[in-house]
Amino acid sequence: MAREPDALAENDVLAEENRAWLRYQGVLAVNLMSSPGSGKTTLLERTARESGLPVTAIEGDQETLLDAERIKAAGAPVVQINTGTGCHLDAAMVDRALRTLEPERGSVLFIENVGNLVCPALFDLGESCRVVVLSVTEGQDEPLKYPRMFAAADLVVLNKIDLLPYLDFDVELFDENARKINPGVEVLRVSATRGTGLADWFGWLRERAG
């Protein structure tokens, strides 16, 4: 069995091949990472329906096709990857999915990673950018608890802000903690359920897709 550094090195080689192919195709690949229950699938559904961008998706889950079915119903071509006991996607899984999905030139490809704030941060998939989604139902100190995940983020999306009146969650402290780990990182506040802040999210994607 390969040692972890060897496995990561092999993964990184294939990730660069994925990245080169996606760049050649003009595809913006977004590695969407979070813990379970953050609302990232709802965010992706609304993005597929309302952003006006051509969206495709790779769905990573340990079991079931439930999230892939939701994204397909939202109108986006999707491939499901079930990892079984695995806690993350890797570049080889994404390579195989890309061969099936064949995202169209100029599209935005979302890679919805397995819900986990640890393992996915270690594995480059060949993505263009990394987005971490956190719900206000989680702790404002999550960036300090999971620094590697937040250090790797190009964007942090704070979701479910419609629940703030009912929770003891300090938004300003969360922003401060995120920037202790990743100085200058942008934090968008959204409610994927209510639609609050989604225009800013769509704009962020358009800037990078263009």
Q: What was the pLDDT predicted at 1?
A: 39
Q: What was the pLDDT predicted at 2?
A: 45
Q: Write the CA distances from 81 to 96, 104, 111, 178, integer angstroms.
A: 10, 19, 10, 30
Superfamily of structural domain 4-209: P-loop containing nucleotide triphosphate hydrolases (3.40.50.300)
User: Could you give the CA distance from residue 104 to residue 165 in angstroms, rounded to a whole number?
Assistant: 42
Cβ pair 10, 98 in contact under 8 A: no
**Mean pLDDT over the full length of the chain:** 95
Q: What is the pLDDT of residues 86-115, one digit of tens each?
A: 889 999 999 999 999 999 999 999 999 999
Q: What was the pLDDT predicted at 4?
A: 61
Q: What is the pLDDT of residues 22-69, one digit of tens each?
A: 999 999 999 999 999 999 999 999 999 999 999 999 999 887 788 899
Helices (H), ranges, 114-170: 142-145, 147-151
H-helix or E-strand spanning residue 58? strand 55-61
- Using a pLDDT cut of 90, give the percent of the chain over it: 90
Show me where the domains of the chain are located.
Answer: 4-209
| Average pLDDT of the residues in 138-150 | 97
* Residues facing residue 157 across a β-bridge: 133, 188
